[in-house]
Every structure is written in C-alpha cells, then in structure tokens.
C-alpha cells in the first residue's frame, strides 16, 4: 500500500496503481480522453495532466504509477494550466459544429472547455479539412473525422475487446484520421460501444442521431432483457415532451458499468432491442362478451376471469395449464407460483419455448434470449426438461385442457400457426397476458395488457444466479399493468387476502420462502446485483 496525497487529502492506495486510478477511486474529477479503464493505456491525448510535487513538469495521470509519499495536485494552477493548454490544442482544428452535432450536451470537449478551458482562442488559421463527415461506416455507426480527437479508444476497443480490428488511424501529423480499414465496415456484435466510448461527436449512433437533444433525456437504471446475461444498462427516455416523435418514449439504451456482468459494454442486439416498449403494444384489456369480445376495464376483466377460474362457471370445469415466461420478473413468477401452482393446483406449468436459442459467444452474449430463466426454474421448482412448454402444447392439442394462460409467448412463432389453430380450437378459454401484440394474443379470449420491463419494478436472475433489479423508467402504456398488480388483483377476486402494494414486499416473501433467494433484499441487491446462495455449479451455463 502507498500513502499519497491528492489535492491536500491523504489516501492509502494499492501499490502500482496509476494516478488516474487513485484519483478515480477518490472520486475527484479529472479530464481524460484516451484513458478508459477497459482498454490498454494509450497516453496520447495528454489532457490528464496533474502536478506531482518535486517533479518539474506536470505528468499524465493515466501512465504514472503511485509511489509512497507522492503529493498530487489535480486542480493546482500548474495542473489546470497544463490541462488547458492541451485542450486548446485539441480544439484548434475542431470544426466547432456543436449546433448540428448529436454529441452536444454529452461531449467531453464541451465539458472540459467549461471546466478547465475558458480561454480566448488563439487559433486563426484555416482548419484541416478531412474527407469523411457524416459518413456511415457500418449499419449502426456514423463517422465524422473532423470531430475526432484521435484518442484511439475506438481502435483499441475493436483491437482488444472485439478483436475485429475494423478501425485504424491513417496518415500523420494533423492529417491523421481515424477510419475503418479499406474494404471493411464496422459491423460486429458490439459495434455500438464505440459510440459510447468516443468522447466526442466523431462516432454517433445512426439509430439515435437527431432523435432528441440529450439534455431532454432522463435516465433510469435497468437490466437488459435480451439474454440471460442481464447486462446492466440505463434506459434513456424522453418523458417531458410526449408530442415529440409520435409518442416514442425510449430513445436509447446505454451500458451501465458492472464488473461482474458486462463491464462497460452492451451488445448491439440488446442495445437496439427497445422498440417493443413503445411499439405494437397491447394497451387495452379484452374479455369475451355476447359470443364475441369486448374491451373492458382491467378489474372487470379480472373479475370475470376469476369467476371462470374458480370453476363455478359451467364451461371451464377442467384442467388448466400455465405457459409462463422467462421474461417475467422473479416477483411475478413467485406470484404465479402462489396463485396457479399452490392455490389453484395447476400441475401443468412450463415457461421455456423450445428451439428459441440463439447466438452465443465467449464474451457477453448468451444463447438463452431471456433474462430470467434461472429465476423461473428456481421459483417454480422445475427441472430444465420439465420447464419446456412442448408437453403442454401437445396435451392442449389433444384437448386435455379447458384453459391455458399464456404469458408473453407467441405459440405461432414457436410451434407454427397450424399448432396455434388446433390448440385454440381445443381450448375453451385462452388467456393471453403480455406486453405486445402477436397471433396468440389475437386469438385469445382474455387479453391482459402487461407493463413492459421499463415500466415496472422487479428483479431478474441471470445465468450466474446474480439477482439484479430493474426500475421503472416510464409509466405503463395505455391500460397496461405490471404483472404483479394483475396477479394481486386477480388473487383478490379469487378470495385470497394478499396485501402486496409493491414488488419489494413480494420479493421479501419470495426470499423467505425460496432457499436460493434466502436473506436477499432489494437493499442488498443494490444496483449491482448479488449472486444468490445456490452453489454456482448447478447453474445453467455457468
């Protein structure tokens, strides 16, 4: 351990760490462009200058190691002057096209100019002209070479993280420019990350460009539901101007640092998977009426459904099955277990759709495209094989069920339209609960409009057994309701005395009742998640 002083305060840090690591740990802001904790040290931008006492010149914090007794200043006149000088060089040839730059508002040139710049610019020459402005370098990313400050983060990302080597820096001196190598385009499973790490407006996201100025965005923590890794992320949404962009609310997803899960990254598949939150949503509740179907208030629908489920009705005396969903939160699955398995004694419960697994790599992306298969297995107490919904569908085809409650799945997509048609024919009642429209919802008797993950609280259990929380970013769209509310209300109509008013109390009961979750609480999970108690050897994919 080394004793050092930063800006007058003493710190004890590990031997051999860099100054910038020590400074970051002390939560002291220091400008940086090329340094990124997930990439090798390049030391080329030269902005992270700090003063070290007894050293004649300022040094860069990102490539200087601590030594015992070091006295470091990040904001002394000497340090700030050094940072300012470097910034002025960086801005010398910058096009200053902030008014038409999508990065404005989250640009480190703007930020540091306000923090350490504020000089009268001396540059009075013709700026260097570069060839590629607003130039698509792949399906997702746009390049502007003139805005690039040549920090080489994008180059190092594609060299060191994806190892796809699309980027290079070409030419010399102030004609240096970043580009994709000839004949290549930026098109890998993680392309979007270069936009996040580009500190300026040189790499922008084609999906996000010009949708909204970033200062209109609000942010909520979340977890990506697109595969069983559960990458931590932020949902950036525009709630203040709903008239903007035809009521589209979710503007983009950004990775949120979690060293145990996704570090600083997000895959493109997850990053661009937000559209279903705002599009093709089920906003209305429906129930059978007069030989047809009618839209109705959610409580009316649930009351009617409860009536059927109690078996007091004539037509539905018979077995029911639950096709649950690994997209559902732990809390929701727990309530399904209480209601359908424990109380209504349904024996046929599954959630895993066969043949839906996708691409997997040895980095982030997992084969299982659901965020909570691990939690669902555990809470329902199912084996992997028993969780498969094929058996239920086969039985349904034979007419063994009076009713099926389907959550999220589209049976047409999984088993084909013909199977859905047969199943539908053999059923007296088909209940569909979910967020988005699909052929299964189209032919359901009851349609229960559910809230999307961005519209509710809860938790997922990823493939590592890490229980992670999701938070509410935006209000449930239309009449949609979070599943925990739907199930709680239904339980009420069934005569159960549940008094859950928020997911947290459900989670507390779940934690009490389910060994793997024992002793966990929202507080303990925090925003980085906690691995549950189950021995990791038994985990899927681990």
Longest dimension (CA), the chain: 91
Using the rule CB under 8 A, is 399 a contact of another protein?
A: no
- Give the C-alpha separation, 223 to 374, whole Å: 15
Residue 459, SS3 per DSSP: strand
Least distance from ligand SF4 to the Cβ atom of residue 142, Å = 11
Least distance from ligand FES to the Cβ atom of residue 86, Å = 8
- Give the C-alpha separation, 6 to 284, whole Å: 58
Among 19, 23, 60, 520, binds ligand FES (CB under 6 A): 60
Q: CB under 8 A: which stretch of 84-92, 98-106, 239-247, 528-536 binds another protein? A: 84-92
- Give the C-alpha separation, 531 to 464, whole Å: 7
Residue 524, SS3 per DSSP: helix
Using the rule CB under 6 A, is 452 a contact of ligand SF4?
A: no
Q: CB under 6 A: which stretch of 33-41, 195-203, 310-318, 477-485 binds ligand FES? A: 33-41
Among 80, 130, 153, 407, binds ligand SF4 (CB under 6 A): 153
Q: Which is nearer to ligand FES, 108 or 304 (CB)?
A: 108
| 121's tokens | 């610019």
Using the rule CB under 6 A, is 32 a contact of ligand FES?
A: yes
- Give the C-alpha separation, 196 to 154, whole Å: 10
CB-based contacts of 107, cutoff 8 Å, min separation 6: 98, 101, 199, 200, 201
| 441's tokens | 């919802």
Kindly determine how many residues on this chain lie close enough to bind ligand SF4 according to the rule CB under 6 A: 14
Using the rule CB under 8 A, is 76 a contact of another protein?
A: no
Using the rule CB under 6 A, is 154 a contact of ligand SF4?
A: yes
- Give the C-alpha separation, 4 to 26, whole Å: 11
Strand order, beta sheet including 530-531 = 458-461, 466-470, 530-531
Q: Which is nearer to ligand SF4, 10 or 173 (CB)?
A: 173
- Count of CB atoms situated within 10 Å of the CB of 312: 10
Using the rule CB under 6 A, is 108 a contact of ligand SF4?
A: no
Using the rule CB under 8 A, is 173 a contact of another protein?
A: yes
Phi and psi at residue 423, to the nearest 5°: -55, -45
Taking Cα atoms as reference points, which of 316, 317, 318, 386 lies closest to residue 351?
Answer: 386
Q: CB under 8 A: which stretch of 116-124, 229-237, 372-380, 386-394 binds another protein? A: 116-124
Q: CB under 6 A: which stretch of 18-26, 148-156, 264-272, 518-526 binds ligand SF4? A: 148-156
Among 120, 125, 362, 418, binds another protein (CB under 8 A): 125
Q: Which is nearer to ligand SF4, 160 or 342 (CB)?
A: 160
- Chain positions contacting ligand SF4, by CB under 6 A: 148-154, 178, 197-200, 202-203
- Chain positions contacting ligand FES, by CB under 6 A: 32-35, 43, 45-48, 60, 62
């Amino acid at each position: 351990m080394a004793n050092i002083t930063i800006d007058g305060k003493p710190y004890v840090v590990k031997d051999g760490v860099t100054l910038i690591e020590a400074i970051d740990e002390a939560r002291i802001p220091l400008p940086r462009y090329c340094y990124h904790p997930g990439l090798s040290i390049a030391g080329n931008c030269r902005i992270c200058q700090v003063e070290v006492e007894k050293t004649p010149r300022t040094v860069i914090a990102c490539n200087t190691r601590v030594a015992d007794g070091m006295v470091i200043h990040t904001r002394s006149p000497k340090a700030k002057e050094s940072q300012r000088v470097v910034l002025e060089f960086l801005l010398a040839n910058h096009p200053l096209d902030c008014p038409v730059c999508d990065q404005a508002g989250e640009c480190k040139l703007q930020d540091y100019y306000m923090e350490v710049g504020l000089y009268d610019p001396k540059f009075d020459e013709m700026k260097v002209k570069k060839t590629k402005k607003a130039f698509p370098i792949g399906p997702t990313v746009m390049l502007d070479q003139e805005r690039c400050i040549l920090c080489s983060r994008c180059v190092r990302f594609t060299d060191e993280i994806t190892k796809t080597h699309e980027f290079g820096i070409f030419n010399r001196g102030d004609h240096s420019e970043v580009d994709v190598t000839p004949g290549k385009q930026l098109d890998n499973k993680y392309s979007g990350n270069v936009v996040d790490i580009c500190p300026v407006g040189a790499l922008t996201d084609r999906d996000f460009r010009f949708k909204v100025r970033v200062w209109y965005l609000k942010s909520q923590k979340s977890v990506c539901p697109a595969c069983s890794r559960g990458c931590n992320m932020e949902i950036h949404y525009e709630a203040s101007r709903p008239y903007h962009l035809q009521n589209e609310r979710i503007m983009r997803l950004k990775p949120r640092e979690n060293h145990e899960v996704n570090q600083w990254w997000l895959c493109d598949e997850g990053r661009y998977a937000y559209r279903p939150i705002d599009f093709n949503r089920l906003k209305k509740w429906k129930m059978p009426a007069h030989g047809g179907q009618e839209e109705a208030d959610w409580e009316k629908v649930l009351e009617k459904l409860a009536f059927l489920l109690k078996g007091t009705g004539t037509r539905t005396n018979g077995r029911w099955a639950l096709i649950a969903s690994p997209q559902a939160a732990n809390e929701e699955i727990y309530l399904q277990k209480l209601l359908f398995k424990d109380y209504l004694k349904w024996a046929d419960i599954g959630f895993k759709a066969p043949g839906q697994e996708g691409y997997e790599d040895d980095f982030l992306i997992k084969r299982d495209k659901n965020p909570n298969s691990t939690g669902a297995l555990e809470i329902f107490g199912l084996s992997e094989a028993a969780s498969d919904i094929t058996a239920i569908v086969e039985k349904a085809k034979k007419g063994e069920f009076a009713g099926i409650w389907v959550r999220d799945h589209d049976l047409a997509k999984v088993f084909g339209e013909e199977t859905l048609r047969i199943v539908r024919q053999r059923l007296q009642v088909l209940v569909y609960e979910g967020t988005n429209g699909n052929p299964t919802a189209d032919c359901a008797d009851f349609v229960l409009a559910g809230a999307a993950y961005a519209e509710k609280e809860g938790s997922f259990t990823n493939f590592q057994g890490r229980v992670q929380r999701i938070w509410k970013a935006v209000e449930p769209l239309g009449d949609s309701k979070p599943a925990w509310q739907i199930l709680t209300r239904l339980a009420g109509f069934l005569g159960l005395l549940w008094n859950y008013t928020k997911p947290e109390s459900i989670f507390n009961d779940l934690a009490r009742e389910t060994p793997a979750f024992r002793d966990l609480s929202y507080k303990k999970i925090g925003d980085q998640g906690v691995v549950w108690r189950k021995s990791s050897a038994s985990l899927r994919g681990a």
